Amino acid sequence: MMDTASESLPPGMLRVTEALAALGHPHAPVMLDDAARTAQQAADALGVALGQIAKSIIFRRKSDDAAVLVITSGDLRVDEKKVQALVCAEGGKLGRADADFVKAKTGFSIGGVSPLAHATPPVTLIDKQLLRFDVIWAAAGHPHGVFRLSPGDLQRLTGAPVHDVTVPPSA
């Protein structure tokens, strides 16, 4: 893991670095030696529990083509029906977001979607299971970039509500 000089950062990571600094977040993003496109890769590279990785999952709200960002623990799966109930009007549907949609709406590629500094602000939900941890790590706009934060920091930085949006671990 290495610290990063902002002038040499990829554009997405630079946006995240600047947003974090503007919001007064004390931990700048770091560049990992290896890609952390998956939660497992990030956890392995950082030497932390899989659940400490704050996964950013993007869905597509069909009624208005809005991006819906769900931030959840790396060890859990998102329950689309729970998310749909929270972000779609009655009868509204949530769909999968392909790589082009994710890039167009967030400005980030899949595997590096940050919880903040999106090209177009998404509808955002934080899964309550992230509150199990004191320290979590999130993508910083690039598959090699991550930053440290607490669940409280995540709420403050995104302004997003906390909900139960995952499939129970035994399911």
Domain of 89, in residue numbers: 2-163
Average pLDDT, the chain: 92
CA 21 remoteness from chain centre: 18
Maximal CA-CA distance, the chain: 48
Number of domains into which the chain is organized: 1
The CA distance from 133 to 32, in Å, is 21
Of residues 4 and 77, more confidence is placed in 77
Does 171 fall in a domain? no
What are the tens digits of pLDDT across the range 112-124? Answer: 999 999 999 999 9
Residue 105: strand, helix, or coil: helix
Q: Residue 109: which CATH number?
A: 3.90.960.10
Does 107 fall in a domain? yes
- Per-residue pLDDT at 171 exceeds 80: no
What are the tens digits of pLDDT across the range 28-73? Answer: 999 998 878 889 999 999 999 999 999 999 999 999 999 999 999 9
